[in-house]
């Protein structure tokens, strides 16, 4: 094992789980939660801070500030602590309490925005708070994950090449869409290096990223209440929308197989399985990405009362629905992936996920 002298220097980047034993269908899951920050957000956090240091934007006395649903905040808390910067993280009530505690334990100041912006939701309210902080003191530096090229650049530099190296025969890559940093970094890399690989975005129902109507969402990580500035839809082939109840069911299904993973992992796994089923794509190499582990979700997704309150008794039964079980273990024929990769329109895509 390596010996490190900075927490961000350790990151397990080559671990993939073959989910066939759990789901009854081959789907490889890239695990990104094994590092000191506990999530994929270590990569963009490191890239954005190091770029800002190189350009002189950040230096001694700087106060980093960022709006985060949690994971980027934890990663920045860790990096700021290790490098000696102050850090203020602006969160909203969807942030897991355990995640906020983690940031505080790492020395960050956590500002909770309690009222959503009337049009732009909680994200709009968080960004307004960040702007107010920056206007109040010029030591504040907003890394701005929503438009910072270091966000997608980190995945272009690390995540996508890691997947490409492991799967020379990759057919489809499913990527969850939050800020779309992961999605855009992977899409750019594969468009340039392996244009035959299909890139399918997975988003939460209620997110407006791909033009859908806004709706309340409870699970952090994926989905946006304003359109992500980094998103370039011309780089992706398809979009799948996933209801939060299906996210919860998929998480429970994975946990029943011994894999306790985060909410967005349930979303991308359900989205990938739905897409593969709709395209009758069995004998292909498909990969998706697990951004974090399940422990921070013990009070929500893995808490029966929380699930009962928000999604009803069926979901709380802690098992996939019959429909899911059929979907996940269908031993049907193995037709090849269709050759053409037209971008499916949103209405049709929404019907795929329902
Ligand atoms: C758990 C989790 N999943 C997915 C994402 C989405 O990643 P991206 O912002 O690169 O789209 C995030 C982003 O914070 C996350 O925390």
What is the rounded average pLDDT of the residues 168-176?
98
Categorize the per-residue pLDDT at 1 as very low, low, confident or very high, splitting at 50, 70 and 90: low
CA of 292 to the centre of ligand 1 (A): 9
CA distance 233 to 253: 31
Categorize the per-residue pLDDT at 241 as very low, low, confident or very high, splitting at 50, 70 and 90: very high
Percentage, residues of the chain above pLDDT 70: 89
CA of 175 to the centre of ligand 1 (A): 10
More confident residue, 156 or 340: 156
By the 8 A CB rule, do 291 and 71 touch?
A: yes
Percentage, residues of the chain above pLDDT 90: 78
By the 8 A CB rule, do 202 and 267 touch?
A: yes
What is the rounded average pLDDT of the residues 193-215?
96
- Predicted local confidence at residue 122, as pLDDT: 87
Q: What is the third-level CATH fold of 42-142?
A: Rossmann fold (3.40.50)
What is the rounded average pLDDT of the residues 212-228?
90
In ligand 1, the atom with minimum distance to the C-alpha of 44 is 10
What is the reported pTM?
0.88
C-alpha distances out from residue 123 to 30, 90, 97, 270, Å: 28, 10, 18, 25
Where are the CATH 3.40.50.1100 domain residues in the chain? 7-31+158-331, 42-142
Answer yes or no: is the C-beta of 144 below 6 A from any ligand 1 atom.
no
Answer yes or no: is the C-beta of 264 below 6 A from any ligand 1 atom.
yes
By the 8 A CB rule, do 41 and 296 touch?
A: no
- Predicted local confidence at residue 305, as pLDDT: 96
Picking from 291, 14, 284, the residue whose alpha carbon sits closest to that of residue 165 is 14
Answer yes or no: is the C-beta of 71 below 6 A from any ligand 1 atom.
yes
Architecture of the structural domain at 7-31+158-331: 3-Layer(aba) Sandwich (3.40)
Model pLDDT for residues 90-134, shown as the tens digit of each residue: 998 878 788 899 999 999 999 999 999 998 888 899 999 999 999
Four-point Cα dihedral 205, 259, 154, 180, nearest 10: 0
How many residues can be counted in the chain? Answer: 354
Residue nearest to atom 7 of ligand 1 (CA): 178
By the 8 A CB rule, do 266 and 247 touch?
A: yes
pLDDT at 344 over 50: no
Best of 99, 182, 189 for a ligand 1 pocket test (most atoms within 8 Å of beta carbon): 182
- Predicted local confidence at residue 96, as pLDDT: 78
pLDDT at 321 over 80: no
- Predicted local confidence at residue 182, as pLDDT: 98
pLDDT at 323 over 50: no
What is the rounded average pLDDT of the residues 136-161?
96
Residue nearest to atom 15 of ligand 1 (CA): 221
Answer yes or no: is the C-beta of 286 below 6 A from any ligand 1 atom.
no
Helix axis angle, 97-105 relative to 71-83, nearest 10°? 10
Alpha-helical regions (H) of 106-211: 121-136, 149-154, 160-166, 181-193
| Other Cβ atoms closer than 10 A to 197 | 24
Four-point Cα dihedral 248, 343, 282, 21, nearest 10: -20
Model pLDDT for residues 38-93, shown as the tens digit of each residue: 999 999 999 999 999 999 999 999 999 999 878 999 999 999 999 999 999 999 88
What is the rounded average pLDDT of the residues 274-303?
94
Mean pLDDT, the chain, whole residue set? 89
Answer yes or no: is the C-beta of 294 below 6 A from any ligand 1 atom.
no
Categorize the per-residue pLDDT at 289 as very low, low, confident or very high, splitting at 50, 70 and 90: very high
More confident residue, 61 or 347: 61
By the 8 A CB rule, do 284 and 171 touch?
A: yes
- Predicted local confidence at residue 260, as pLDDT: 98
């Amino acid at each position: 094992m390596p010996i490190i002298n900075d927490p961000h220097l350790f990151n397990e980047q080559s671990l993939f789980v073959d989910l066939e034993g759990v789901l009854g269908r081959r789907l490889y899951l890239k695990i990104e939660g094994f590092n000191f920050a506990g999530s994929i957000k270590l990569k963009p956090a490191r890239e954005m801070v190091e770029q800002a240091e190189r350009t002189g934007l950040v230096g001694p006395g700087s106060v980093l500030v960022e709006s985060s649903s949690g994971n980027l905040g934890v990663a920045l808390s860790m990096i700021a602590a290790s490098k000696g910067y102050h850090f203020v993280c602006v969160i909203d009530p969807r942030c897991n309490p355990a995640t906020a505690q983690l940031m505080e334990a790492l020395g960050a100041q956590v500002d909770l925005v309690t009222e959503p912006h009337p049009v732009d939701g909680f994200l709009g309210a968080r960004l307004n708070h960040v702007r107010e902080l920056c206007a109040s003191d010029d030591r504040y530096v907003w890394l701005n994950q929503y438009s910072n090229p270091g966000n997608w650049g980190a995945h272009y530099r690390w995540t996508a090449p890691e997947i490409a190296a492991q799967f020379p025969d990759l057919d489809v890559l499913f990527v969850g869409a939050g800020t779309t940093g992961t999605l855009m970094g992977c899409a750019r890399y594969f468009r340039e290096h392996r244009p035959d690989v299909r890139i399918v975005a997975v988003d939460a129902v209620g997110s407006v990223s791909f033009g859908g109507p806004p709706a309340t969402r409870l699970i952090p990580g994926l989905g946006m209440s304003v359109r992500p500035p980094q998103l370039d839809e011309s780089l992706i082939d398809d979009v799948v929308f996933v209801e939060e109840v299906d996210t919860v069911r998929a998480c429970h299904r994975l946990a029943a197989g011994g894999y306790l993973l985060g909410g967005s992992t349930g979303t991308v796994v359900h989205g990938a399985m739905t897409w593969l089923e709709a395209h009758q794509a069995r004998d292909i190499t498909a990969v998706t990405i697990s951004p974090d582990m399940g422990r921070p979700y013990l009070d929500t997704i893995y808490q029966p009362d929380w699930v009962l309150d928000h999604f009803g008794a069926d979901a709380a039964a802690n098992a996939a629905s019959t429909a899911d079980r059929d979907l996940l273990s269908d031993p049907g024929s193995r037709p090849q992936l269709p050759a053409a990769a037209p971008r499916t329109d949103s209405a049709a895509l929404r019907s795929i996920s329902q």
